[in-house]
């Protein structure tokens, strides 16, 4: 089986690169952390990797809206050789590779037009904006996955994950895009209550997102973004209720539920 390689970008206020790289390594892949400037200077090439990962953090301090400056930088930045970075990104996807964005990374993917990309034109169709609570939310949430939407979620049904964001509320540009998201099944991760039912109620839904959305895929399933942090749940003992989980389910191993997302994509790429 092939060795799966992930490029985890950092710089400009991104701050979750180390645990993200650890997730790919624990999942059986290889991970390289690189400053985005090194990518722009072509010291590191996207095309040597299978996965491009945009981690969480506070790129450019979120001063003009979370992920917006980072999105514009990636949209319009020219590489050292003169070509647009975004053209390189499109070629990376057309070659069948994968992109994952978590929290700030999800915000950047949305504002670059990579998600949900209904029309296939890489134009912004939705945004992620201020939580209904008007404050930063740092809590654990329950989510339900639509596993057929993307290989990242293969076999996942319910999953507990932590969120930590101030701007995670999905707002959809118009009714036509909303209907297309639903028709294509791109709303692939939703906030649910204790009974597993999708909810807009706070705090189970920490931000008031349209469609109770915690994560989106593009129609190909190769681009996936989510607000919760799977890289923050790599071990069972990361969960605040791990003793109760272990007592109720003694058969549970030591792996955290978040690791499954990284294992899924590594396994998918290695076997294809």
Q: What is the mean pLDDT of residues 179-203?
A: 97
| Contact assessment for residue 128 and residue 168, using Cβ atoms and an 8 Å cutoff | yes
Q: What is the CATH number of the domain that holds 31?
A: 3.40.50.880
Tell me whether strands 189-192 and 213-217 are parallel, antiparallel or unpaired: antiparallel
Residue 231 scores a pLDDT above 90: yes
Residue 1 scores a pLDDT above 80: no
Is-catalytic flag, 231? yes
Determine the pLDDT at residue 63.
81
Number of domains in the chain: 1
Q: Give residue 180's domain range.
A: 5-271
Q: Which residue among 16, 17, 103, 222 is the active-site one?
A: 103
Q: Count the helices and strands in the chain (H runs, E runs).
A: 8, 11
For 18, phi and psi rounded to 5 degrees?
-70, -45
Q: What is the mean pLDDT of residues 91-113?
A: 98
Determine the pLDDT at residue 2.
85
Is-catalytic flag, 213? no
Determine the pLDDT at residue 268.
98
Tell me the pLDDT tens digit for each residue of 131-173.
Answer: 999 999 999 999 999 999 999 999 999 999 999 999 999 999 9
Residue 62 scores a pLDDT above 90: no
pTM of the model: 0.97
Q: Which residue among 97, 165, 222, 229 is the active-site one?
A: 229
Q: What is the mean pLDDT of residues 246-261?
A: 96
Is-catalytic flag, 143? no
For 47, phi and psi rounded to 5 degrees?
-75, 0
**Measured distance CA(219)–CA(150) in Å, rounded:** 9
């Amino acid at each position: 089986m092939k060795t799966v390689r992930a490029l985890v970008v950092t710089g400009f206020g991104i701050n979750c690169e180390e645990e993200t790289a650890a997730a790919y390594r624990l999942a059986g892949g290889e991970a390289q952390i690189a400053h985005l400037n090194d990518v722009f200077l072509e010291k590191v090439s996207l095309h040597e990797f299978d996965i491009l990962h945009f981690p969480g953090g506070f790129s450019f301090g979120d001063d003009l809206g979370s992920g917006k400056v980072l999105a514009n930088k990636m949209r319009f930045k020219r590489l050292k050789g003169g070509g647009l970075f975004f053209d390189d990104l499109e070629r990376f996807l057309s070659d069948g590779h994968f992109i994952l964005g978590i929290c700030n990374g999800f915000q950047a993917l949305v504002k670059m037009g990579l998600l949900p990309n209904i029309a296939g034109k890489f134009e912004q169709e939705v945004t992620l904006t201020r939580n209904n609570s008007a404050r930063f939310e740092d809590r654990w949430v329950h989510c339900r996955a639509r596993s057929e939407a993307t290989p990242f979620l293969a076999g996942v049904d319910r999953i507990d994950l932590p969120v930590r964001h101030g701007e995670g509320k999905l707002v959809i540009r118009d009714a036509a895009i909303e209907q297309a998201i639903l028709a294509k099944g791109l709303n692939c991760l939703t906030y649910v209550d204790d009974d597993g039912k999708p909810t807009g109620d706070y705090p189970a839904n920490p931000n008031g997102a349209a469609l109770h959305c915690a994560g989106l895929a593009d129609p190909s399933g190769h681009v996936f973004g989510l607000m919760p942090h799977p890289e923050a749940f790599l071990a069972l003992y990361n969960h605040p209720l791990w003793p109760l989980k272990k007592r109720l389910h003694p058969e549970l191993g030591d792996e955290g539920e978040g690791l499954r997302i990284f294992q899924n994509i590594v396994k998918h790429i290695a076997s294809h």
